[in-house]
Structure 1
Amino acid sequence: MNTYDYVVVGAGSAGCVLAARLSEDPGTRVALIEAGGPDTAQEIHVPAAFSQLFKSDLDWDLDSEPEPGIGGRRAYLPRGKVFGGCSSINAMIYIRGNRADYDGWAANGADGWSYSDVLPYFRRSEDNLRGADAFHGTGGPLTVSDSRSNHPLASAFVEAAISAGHRRNDDFNGESQLGVGPYQLTQRDGMRCSTSVAFLHPAMQRPNLTVLSGARADRVVIENGRATGVEVTRNSGTEVITAAREVILSAGAYESPKLLMLSGVGPADTLAAFGIRVRADLPVGEGLQDHYMTLLNFRTDTESLMTAASEANAELLQSQGRGPLTSNIGEAGGFFHSRDGLAAPDVQFHMAPVLFHQEGLGPITEHGFAFGPCVLAPTSRGRVTLRAARPDAAPRITHNYLTTAEDRAAIIAGIRIALDIAAQAPAAKVITGPYDVPDSDSDADLLAWAQRSGMTLYHPTSTCAIGSVVDPELRVYGVQGLRVVDASVFPSVPRANTNAPTVMAAEKAADLIKGAV
C-alpha cells in the first residue's frame, strides 16, 4: 500500500515523535520515510562512543561553504542518517532553553509558542528520574536522568567555576539557567535514550505505522497547490508515497529547506536559476542560525576518558549501567552573561573530561580535558541553498559564524571566562599544561584562536521559520497539506542544546495536526 493519511519525511528527533504520536489513533495510517536504517550499531547506544559515529555511514557528513568569519574554513557538520537522527549521534544533553526564547517567539508573532504554551509539551515528553514538579514531568517516553559517570575532571571544572564566583545550578531547566553544574541527559539505565528508543521502537509494533528505511526523499509532489505525496528513491527504484491528509517534513534545518526547494517551494530567483518550477515563493533556507563553540584543551595527569574503553568498563556498563562508558563526554557546563545588562545568558559552556579538538575529529593520544564557550544568542545569520537540482547533491550551507561584532565580543568574553576558571585552584591543580589554548589574553589573540579552533555545536535552526515559511501551526504558506516540523521552524535558535526543543516542537505539532490544540 502506497497511500497513507500522513507521510512523515525523516525518522530523526522530530519524525520519531510525530510517527509515534500520530499512530496512536489506530484508524490513522502513517508512513515514516528515512534515508538511513535502524539504530543497531553498538556505538549509538554506548554513550561515550558517539564521536566514533562521525564520518561513518550513519552520518550525512556535511560541510559548510568556506566561512568568511572564521578565515575561510569549512565547518564539519555531522548529522544523523539513522533512526533517531541526531538524537542517535548527539551528546544526549537535555536542555530546554530560556523562558525569554519562547516568550520572544510569541511576542514576534509565533502565537501559541510562549514559554507557558510549550512547557506542558516539555513535561509531557519527559520521564525525569528526579521526579515531577512544576518544571518537570514523569511517565513520558523520553527518559531524562543524571549522569552515571560523574568524572572527577568534570567535578573539578564545576568547583573551579564556583571558585571564580559563578553559582552552582543543578537544574538548568528549572527556575533559572544561570550558573554551572552537571547536565541532565537523555539516558536510560546508563545507555542512550534517543527518540528512536523512546518513541519509535514502541510504536513500530503498531500495524498502522509503516517505516520505510533506506528511502531517500527526492521531492514533495504538489498538485493544484496541494501536497499529495513524496517521491522517494528506494531499492534502486523511484516511487510516490501518497498522503491523503498531509506531508510533514522533519528532515532537519539543512535537509528540509533543500527538499522544499527541490519541490518548488523557496526563493523564486534561486529556483529559476536551477530550472525548478516555482510553487510558492518563500524565503526558504534564509535565517540559518547555529551555536559556534570554542574549547580550550589542557593536559592532565588525571586519568581521562581516553582509557574508558576497557573490558572492565564495558562489563560495568553492561551489568550495572554505570562507569566511564556512560559518559556523554559533555558532562558539565553552565550559562553566563558576557556583559552586564543582559536579560538572559548569551554564553554557554560545555566541559569534556577528555581532549576534544579539531572539530571532535582530532586523535586522543594523551590524557586531557576541554571546556569553553559557545555564542548562545548569535546575531549572525546564514543560508542554506541548493548546490544542484538533484536530490543526491548536498546543499550549500553558509552560517556566517562570527561575522557580527556582537558575536565576536561574546566569544572573546566567553574565552576570558574560561581562562579565569582554568586559573582557579580546583582546575589548576589538575592541569599539567596547555594542549590547545589562545596565545595570549589579548582581544586579537582570543579572536584569532576562536576563528582557528572553533566548531559547530550541532544546533542549526530557523531555515523554515515560523512567520516567514510556515505559520504558527507549522503549515507551509501557499501550499495546502504541507507542514515542516523540526528545528528549522524555530524563529531563533534557543539558548539551549536543541534536541529537547525539537522534541517539544514535535509533541506540540502532533496536537496541532490532530486538532487537539
Structure 2
Amino acid sequence: MNEVQYDFIVIGAGSAGCAVAARLTENGKHRVALIEAGPKDTSPWIHLPLGYGKTMWDERINWKLYTQPDPNMGGRRIYWPRGKVLGGSSAINGLIAIRGQAADYDDWARQCGEGWSYRSVLPYFKRSETFHDTRAPEYHGANGPISVNPIRQTHPLIDAFIASAEAIGIPRNDDFNGPNQEGAGYYHLTTRNGLRSSAAVGYLREARRRKNLDVLTDAQVTRIRFDGRRALGIDYERNGQSTALIARRGVILSAGAVHTPQLLMLSGVGPAEQLAEHGIPVLIDLKGVGANLQDHLQFRLIFRCNRPVSTNDQLNSLLGKARIGLQWLLKRSGPLAVGINQGGLFTAVTPGANRPDVQFHVATLSADMAGGKVHDFSGFTMSVCQLRPESTGTIRLASADPRASPVISPNYLDAELDRRMAVAAIRLARRIASTEPLRGIVDAEVLPGAEAQDDAAILDFARNNGATIFHPTSTCRMGAGDDAGAVVDPDLKVRGLEGLWIADCSVMPRIVSGNTNLPAIMIGEKLSDHLLK
C-alpha cells in the first residue's frame, strides 16, 4: 500500500469540502488532497439548471439513498438523493440561494459562542458570493466564487402567487437574504449565464490549477487512520486498489450529514454499543455521532390550471421543448436556465410566532414526485415545509462494510408540533391558491384533493405523501464544552481527538430556516479561516 503525504486531507468535494480545499491552497503554503467518492462533474445535466430532473435519478452521480420504513409516514421508505460527484449536492440541487434567518445563527451562538452569531458568519456568506444585483450591499458579496442571481424573467404563475400572498397580508420580498426573510417573491439562484454555479465550478476550477492541490475522484474513503487519538490520514479505494494518504496537519471530514457520521463510526468514533455491534474497535465513545438527525419534510400540493400557462405545457410538446432549447441557446434564459422552483415564501403560521416558521417552494410545473415526469395537464406545485422541526432521527451503520449504505431513520412527524405545523402549512397553501389572482388560474386542486378537509385527513395526506426536501443536518452537531451530546467543539474539531475537523451540515446545532447549500459553504469558509489562522 503506497503512502503519499499532504498537509491536509479533505474528505468529500461537496459544498463545504470544495470551499475548504480551495481556501487552504490559496496561499501556496499547504499541500492539500481533496477526495471525492464520485466522478468529475462532466455530465451536461449537472450544469443545466433544469437538469435537476435528470440528476435526481442518475446513480453515477447520486448516492440514491433510502430511509428505513418510517412508521410515522405510512411505513414508507423515502428516497434521499445525495450528490456523489465533484460539487456534491451543490451539483444536483435545486439551485436556491438561501442562508436562513439571522436568529438561527444567534441561537447557535448561545450554544456555541459568539463566533457563530449572525454578525460573525455574515462576512463568510459575503466572501463566498458574487451577487449580480446592486441591492443591499451590506448583506451581499461582489467577488466570491459562488454566483448568485435573481430570477429576472418573470412567470405569470409566480406573479399570481406573490400577488395572492400579498392579498392575505404576506408582504412581497425581493431578497430573502437581506434584512428580513419574511415575505413572498422570486428566489435567487446559484447560476451564472444560464448555468449552474456549483461549489465545484466556483471553488475548484481555479484551485485545480494550483500545484499544491490534488483532486482525486472515484475514490471512496474507507476509514480515517489514527495514531493514538490523532488523525494520521485515510485509506481509500480507487479502481480496485487500496491506498493510504498521510496528513501531516490534519483531516477535514466534509462528507455530509449522512456519510460523515458513517465514516466516523467505521473509523471507531461513535456510540460504543453501535460499534461493538459491528465488530469495530472503539477509539472514542461519542454518543452524538449519528444522533440528532434533522431534515425539512415537504408536502407537495398540486394544482391544475385552467389555461396552458405552466412549464408542463412546453415539456409535453416537441415544439415547446424546441422553444425552450432555443431560448437557452440564444439568450441563456427560459426554463432550462432557472430550474424547477422559482417562487418562494417565508411566513409564520404559529400564533404569536416572531419569525417565519414555514417555507414554500413554488414550481411552474407538476409531477408525481420531485424530479419526476411532468403531468400531461397544465399544472403547478406548491411545496410547503416547516422550517424548524422538533422531530429528530438517526444515522446508524448497516454493517462494517464502507460500501454498505447507512441506516437512515428520520423519524418524521414524531413531534406533536410538527404534525400541527404540517396541517397549518397545507391550509395556508390552499388559502393562497383560493385567493385572487391565483384563484383565477386554478381549475382544481389535484393533491391533496377536495376530500381532505379536516385536520385528520390533511395529516393523513402529509403522512402518505410527504418527502424530504433534501436538507439533512445535525448528525455530528457542535456544542460547548459542557454539552455531552456534541461531537465537535465550536472550532469544529472532533471531541477528544486531534487533527480531525468536520465541515458540513452535520455540525449544525439545529437545522437552519431554509435551504442548506449556502450555509454549508459558509461553514467550509469559516473552518478554512480558522485553520489558516
User: TM above 0.5, one fold?
Assistant: yes
Cα distance in 2 for residues equivalent to 1:327 and 1:357: 21
- The letter for the 2-side match of 1:284 is V
CA distance in 2 between counterparts of 1:111 and 1:384 reads 29
Alpha carbons 1:421, 1:427 under 8 Å: kept: yes
- Find the aligned partners of 2:18 and 2:57 in 1 and give their Cα distance: 23
Structure 2 Cα separation of the partners of residues 374 and 362 of structure 1: 22
One-letter amino acid of the structure 1 residue matched with residue 157 of structure 2: L
Q: Which residue of 1 aligns with 2:179?
A: 175
Secondary structure of the 1:80 match is coil
- Out of 303, 311, 314, the residue aligned to residue 322 of structure 2 is 311
> What's the counterpart of residue 477 of structure 1?
495
Match of 1:381 in 2: 392
In structure 1, C-alpha distance between the alignment counterparts of 2:227 and 2:353, rounded to whole Å: 49
Correspondence for 2:483: none
Q: Which amino acid aligns with 1:37?
A: P
Alignment of structure 1 residues 30-109 onto 2, 5 Å: 30-56=32-58, 57-109=60-112
Post-superposition offset of 1:233:
0.4
The C-alpha deviation readout for 1:311-336, integer Å capped at 9, x for no partner, is: 33223212321112112211011111
Equivalent of 1:452 in 442, 464, 467: 464
Match of 1:405 among 416, 436, 450: 416
Aligned-pair distance for 1:266? 0.3
TM-score when normalising by structure 2: 0.94
CA contact (8 A) 2:366 2:375 kept: yes
Distance 2:17 2:367 in 1: 30
Q: Give, in whole Å, the separation in 2 of the partners of 1:388 and 1:458.
A: 24
2:345 paired with 1:345 = no
Q: What is the CA distance between 1:164 and its match in structure 2?
A: 2.1
Q: Percent identity?
A: 44
Contact 2:52 2:371 in 1 (8 A): no
How many aligned residue pairs are there? 515
Q: Please list the CA deviations of residues 326-361 of structure 1 after superposition, one character each: whole Å capped at 9, or x if unmatched.
A: 122110111111122212211111100000433443
Equivalent residue letter for 1:31: A
Counterparts of 2:76 and 2:373, CA distance in 1: 16
Mapped to 2, the partners of 1:336 and 1:449 lie a distance apart of 22
1:302 and 1:162 map into 2 onto residues whose CA distance is 24
Give 1:33 shift.
0.3
Report SS of the residue matched to 2:224: strand
Q: Report the AA paired with residue 503 of structure 1.
A: I
Q: Judge which range, 310-319 or 48-57, deviates more.
A: 310-319
- 1:355 maps to 366
Contact 1:64 1:76 in 2 (8 A): yes
Alignment of 1:130-169 (within 5 A): 130-131=133-134, 133-169=137-173
Residues in 1 aligned to 2:35 and 2:112: alpha-carbon distance in whole angstroms: 31
Is the CA contact 1:248–1:485 (under 8 Å) kept in the aligned structure 2? yes
* Partner residue in 2 for 1:415: 426
Runs (5+) with no aligned partner, structure 1: none
How far did residue 149 of structure 1 move? 4.3
In structure 1, the partner of 2:251 is 247
Deviation at 1:110, TM superposition (A): 4.1
Instruction: Give 2:132's aligned residue.
Output: 129
Is 1:285 the counterpart of 2:303? The answer is: no
Q: Tell me the amino acid that sits aligned with residue 337 of structure 1.
A: A
Q: Tell me whether 1:118 sits opposite 2:136 in the alignment.
A: no
Residue 11 of structure 1 aligns with which residue?
Answer: 13
Is structure 2 residue 235 aligned with structure 1 residue 231?
A: yes
* 1:226-281 per-position Cα deviation (integer Å, ceiling 9, x unaligned): 11111000011101111111111100000000000000000011001111111111
CA positional deviation for 1:47: 0.7
CA offset digits 1:209-231 (Å, max 9, x no partner) = 00011000100011111111110
2:154 and 2:494 map into 1 onto residues whose CA distance is 44
- Give me the whole-angstrom Cα distance separating, in 2, the residues matched to 1:232 and 1:73: 34
What residue identity is the alignment partner of 1:369? F
Q: Which letter maps to 2:402?
A: P
How well do the aligned residues superpose, as a CA RMSD in angstroms? 1.3
> What CA distance in whole angstroms lies between the structure 2 residues aligned with 1:242 and 1:366?
57
List structure 1 segments (4+ residues) > 4 angstroms apart after TM superposition.
Answer: none
CA distance in structure 2 between the aligned counterparts of 1:232 and 1:166, rounded to whole angstroms: 51
Residues 98, 514 of structure 2: 8 Å contact kept: yes
Instruction: Choose from 184, 192, 200 the match for 2:204.
Output: 200
Normalising by structure 1, we get a TM-score of 0.97
Alignment gaps of 5+ in structure 2: 480-485
Quick one: distance in 1 between partners of 2:29 and 2:140?
32
* 2:304 paired with 1:299: yes
* Paired AA for residue 458 in structure 1: F
Q: Residues 186 and 343 of structure 2 are in contact (CA less than 8 Å); yes or no, is this contact kept in structure 1?
A: yes
Which stretch shows the higher mean deviation, 307-316 or 482-491? 307-316
Q: What secondary structure sits across from 1:112 in the alignment?
A: helix
* Contact 2:100/2:515, CA 8 A, preserved across alignment: yes
Out of 19, 22, 41, the residue aligned to residue 20 of structure 1 is 22
User: Cα distance 1:359–1:313, how it changes in 2: closer, same or farther (>3 A)?
Assistant: closer
The one-letter code of the counterpart of 1:304 is S
Cα distance between partner residues in 2 of 1:102 and 1:190: 32
CA contact (8 A) 1:149 1:327 kept: no
- Deviation of 1:111 after TM superposition, in Å, equals 4.3
Is the deviation greater in 146-155 or in 252-261? 146-155
Q: 2: CA distance between counterparts of 1:7 and 1:96?
A: 27
Contact 1:292/1:455 (8 A) holds in 2: yes
**Alpha-carbon offset, residue 488 of structure 1:** 0.3
1:466 aligned to 2:496? Answer: no
The code of the aligned residue for 1:53 comes to T
Q: Secondary structure at the match of 1:425?
A: coil
Q: Is the CA contact 2:365–2:374 (under 8 Å) kept in the aligned structure 1?
A: no
Alpha carbons 2:164, 2:433 under 8 Å: kept: yes
Looking at structure 2, the residues matched to 358 and 186 of structure 1 have their Cα atoms a distance apart, in angstroms, of 23
CA distance in 2: counterparts of 1:148 and 1:41, whole angstroms? 26
Deviations 1:446-469 (A, max 9, x none): 101111111101000000100200
Q: Distance in 2 between matches of 1:362 and 1:465?
A: 37
